[in-house]
């Protein structure tokens, strides 16, 4: 059965209503697929955790990562519970349970390994795995975080590890735009662009996706789709250059001077 990885950002899981909406999207996809769903914390939660850390002026990197990554346990637990109420075979998984092994660079940890055999076993027993983004565990068993906005990178790394056919990143914008649609009403949504173009955009400050997630997708030739959990329209595909059939779209994008691009902010929370 086809395997799709979906990632929902903080604004997409920002309330129980919104998590129910995510469950609706998942239910539709489950008709003909198995799913791995990666979540961020509910919007605002990670910021709140950072405020607590700042308030006690903690320099304790082990504790800080434990605190920072706690919001994902809540969103993952809530979504999986809602799915089970709908009789969907779902399991909530934190980073250490898979495990997602990282190096020990707290707050900017790099993923070293993801246990594919374990994930395959879970996929045998369940139709939907709900996985906490942004977190991992180092070889000493300490909880690590990947850096703010890092759940995109979790989603792409998991998708690459299990050979998913695509990774859909749901956010609060319905795709990648040539200019900020909030400032320019005629801004056009880009249907398809190459990894390189997406990377160039993020290097000039357009923070739709966590940069490392795009690099990782490019390295693994994994197609990404950026789309909205509200509008339910087709989003923007980020693909290998060779997969760009509609060449005129590419050149259209390339002719835009990236330094003038302003894109909607990400759902970094
Ligand atoms: N919750 C984390 C953050 O706010 C990770 C993420 O949202 O991607 O940075
Ligand atoms: Mg984000």
Q: Are strands 135-137 and 143-145 parallel, antiparallel or unpaired?
A: antiparallel
Alpha-carbon distance of 37 to 128, in angstroms, equals: 7
Tell me the average pLDDT across 69-90: 98
Check residue 204 and give its pLDDT.
66
User: Which ligand neighbours the alpha carbon of 173 most closely?
Assistant: 2
Check residue 188 and give its pLDDT.
86
pLDDT band at 245 (very low <50, low <70, confident <90, very high): low
- Tell me the pLDDT tens digit for each residue of 60-77: 999 999 999 999 999 999
- Tell me the pLDDT tens digit for each residue of 228-238: 999 878 999 99
Sign, CA torsion 146/152/153/158: positive
Sign, CA torsion 148/120/86/26: positive
pTM of the model: 0.90
Using alpha carbons, select from 104, 128, 131 the residue that is nearest to residue 115. Answer: 131
Alpha-carbon distance of 190 to 74, in angstroms, equals: 34
Residue 141 alpha carbon to ligand 2 centre in Å? 26
Alpha-carbon distance of 107 to 146, in angstroms, equals: 6
Q: What is the mean pLDDT of the chain?
A: 89
Residue nearest to atom 8 of ligand 1 (CA): 149
Closest ligand 1 atom to the C-alpha of 267? Answer: 7
Check residue 243 and give its pLDDT.
75
Check residue 266 and give its pLDDT.
37
Using alpha carbons, select from 19, 35, 158 the residue that is nearest to residue 89. Answer: 35
DSSP secondary structure code for residue 76 in this structure? H
User: Which ligand neighbours the alpha carbon of 226 most closely?
Assistant: 2
User: Which ligand neighbours the alpha carbon of 148 most closely?
Assistant: 1
Check residue 62 and give its pLDDT.
98
- Tell me the pLDDT tens digit for each residue of 118-132: 999 999 999 999 999
> Which of residues 173 and 111 earns the better pLDDT score?
111
Using alpha carbons, select from 224, 169, 13, 38 the residue that is nearest to residue 114. Answer: 38
Residue nearest to atom 9 of ligand 1 (CA): 148
Alpha-carbon distance of 33 to 31, in angstroms, equals: 6
> Which of residues 178 and 79 earns the better pLDDT score?
79
Residues with CB under 6 A from ligand 1: 10, 40-41, 46, 71, 133-134, 148-151, 268-269
């Amino acid at each position: 059965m086809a395997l799709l990885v979906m990632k929902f950002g903080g604004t997409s899981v920002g309330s129980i209503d919104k998590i129910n909406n995510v469950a609706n999207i998942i239910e539709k996809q489950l008709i003909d697929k198995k799913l791995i769903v990666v979540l961020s914390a509910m919007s605002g939660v990670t910021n709140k955790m950072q405020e607590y850390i700042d308030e006690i002026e903690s320099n304790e990197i082990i504790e800080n990562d434990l605190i920072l990554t706690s919001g994902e346990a809540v969103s993952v637990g809530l979504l999986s519970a809602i799915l089970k109420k709908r009789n969907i075979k779902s399991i909530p998984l934190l980073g250490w349970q898979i495990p997602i092994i990282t190096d020990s660079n707290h707050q900017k940890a790099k993923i070293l390994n993801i246990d594919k055999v374990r994930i395959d076993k879970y996929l045998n027993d369940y139709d939907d795995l709900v996985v906490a983004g942004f977190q991992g565990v180092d070889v000493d068993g300490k909880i690590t975080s990947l850096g703010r906005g890092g759940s995109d990178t979790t989603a792409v790394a998991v998708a690459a590890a299990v050979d998913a056919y695509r990774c859909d990143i749901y956010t609060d914008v319905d795709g990648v735009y040539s200019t900020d649609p909030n400032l320019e009403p005629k801004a056009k949504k880009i249907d398809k662009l190459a990894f390189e173009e997406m990377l160039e955009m993020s290097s000039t400050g357009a923070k739709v996706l966590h940069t490392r997630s795009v690099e990782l997708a490019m390295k693994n030739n994994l197609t990404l789709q950026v789309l909205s959990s509200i509008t339910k329209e087709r989003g923007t595909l980020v693909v290998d250059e060779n997969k760009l059939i509609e060449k005129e779209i590419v050149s259209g994008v390339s002719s835009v001077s990236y330094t003038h691009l302003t894109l909607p902010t990400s759902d970094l929370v």
